[in-house]
Structures are given as C-alpha cells and as structure tokens.
Structure 1
Amino acid sequence: MVEIAFDDFMKVDVRTGRVIKAEPFPEARNPSIKMWIDFGEEIGVRKTSAQITVHYTPDALIGRQVMAVVNFPPRQIGPFMSEVLVLGVPDESGAVVLVGPDQETPIGGRMH
C-alpha cells in the first residue's frame, strides 16, 4: 500500500449522483451497463459505463444513488465516452458491488 498526502486525497472529487438513465452496453468488450447520472446543478448529468451486470440490471439502477469520481478526464470505452468513474468494490467472486450512501443525500454532495 502506498501512502499519500491528505492534500492528494482532496484532489479527488467524489460526489453523490442519481442514476437517471441506464441501458445495456452490448458493444463493450466485457458485459457492461451505460449510465447517465445527475450530479446536480453544479456538475449536471454525466455518463459512464460499468461492468456491473452480475448484480444489476439497467432498470434496477434508475433512481439509485451512487458515488463517483467526477474530475477524471473523459475516457473512450468503445463507441461510448465515459465522463465519470462510478465507485464499487468486488464481492467474494470479484463481481462489482456499487458504493453509495446508505441514506438519501442531496445529489452533488461531495464526499468528506
């Protein structure tokens, strides 16, 4: 494990967003879902794709609050431009489980 300074951590902008649209991403190399996430007035709606098909369907993601890094540069994923990195952790088999607040929070809220 590499230690970092607190100032380095503060450069990473992690915000709460709400999934407003989700659809399958069959063009992706690995099974994935495309998501459009609303981060509120300051940031707006950003899109991403994630390999989360083991535990989630597009319909089940609508309305869900998630945490995402919003200040990474956009990344081309096949024909889709991913603008944020949704956070998750692997379960025992390595499938991604999304990270989000355990209570309703205002969208766009920055992680402290």
Structure 2
Amino acid sequence: MTSPFDVTIEVAEVLSAEPFPEARKPELVKLTLDCGDRELQSAAQLGYHHDVDDLVGRQVLCVTDLGTVNIAGFESQALTVGVPGDDGNPVLVTPDKQVPLGGELY
C-alpha cells in the first residue's frame, strides 16, 4: 500500500536497547530495530519514560528513510516515533497489538 506521507513509517521490534552515555543528552538510548527484512539502529530520546530493559521485544513505529545521522560515533539509521507525555518528554508510539514487522503506516 502506498503511504500518503513523504516519509516511510514502519513497525519494528526492539532487539536491543542500551544506555548512550557518550551522547550529550543523557536521555538518549541506543536501539537495534528489526524491521522484518533488515535491522536498523536508532538513537532514541526515551530515557525519561522508558527503562532500557523494558524496551526489548516491544514493537515501535520508526521513520526509516530519512538517511543516517552520526551521534557521538553511533550511526542512527531510523527515527523512533514518540509524542510528548504529560511532562513534555517523549513517549513511544506503538501498535496496540502485535503486527507484522516492516508494516507501513498509512
């Protein structure tokens, strides 16, 4: 199905999550994402509301075609999608049930 957006937003599963102490922002987390047909890395601003151990195995939405950004020596290949929580800090956008990996938002 063709997306009406100018970017591709896909479902991915978090394979690994770890703190990112080298980054200037302490709330950044290093993620490895399974998009179904490939793995991508993401530096996600999730440290405010999410424990890294609780992220593994979760499905998330991520923008996959913005290109690569180098953050403190880490190649971030996808933008994990979040919305502001009550305190203004990012909260993950996730499907409300398990769906196939790589599925595109439309």
Asked if these proteins are the same fold (TM beyond 0.5), I'd say yes
**Structure 2, gaps ≥5 residues long:** none
31, 35, 39: which one pairs with 1:39?
35
Compare 73-82 and 7-16 and name the one that shifted more.
7-16
Residues 68 and 76, structure 2, Cα contact 8 Å, conserved in 1: yes
Q: How far apart, CA to CA, are the structure 2 residues paired with 1:52 and 1:100?
A: 13
Q: How far apart, CA to CA, are the structure 2 residues paired with 1:92 and 1:10?
A: 27
User: Identity of aligned pairs, percent?
Assistant: 38
Structure with bigger gyration radius: 1
14 and 8 in structure 1: CA distance in 2 versus 1, 3 angstrom threshold: closer
Deviation digits for residues 5-31 of structure 1, max 9, x if unmatched? xx9943310000000011100001111
Residues 3 and 104, structure 2, Cα contact 8 Å, conserved in 1: no
What's the TM-score once normalised by structure 1's chain length? 0.88
Question: Which of the two has greater strand per residue?
Answer: 2
Question: Which of the two has greater helix per residue?
Answer: 1
Q: How far apart, CA to CA, are the structure 2 residues paired with 1:65 and 1:47?
A: 14
Deviation digits for residues 7-59 of structure 1, max 9, x if unmatched? 99433100000000111000011111100000012xx0000111211111111
Q: Secondary structure at 1:53's aligned position in 2? A: coil
How large is the Cα RMSD of the aligned pairs?
A: 1.5
Q: Which residue of 1 aligns with 2:24?
A: 29
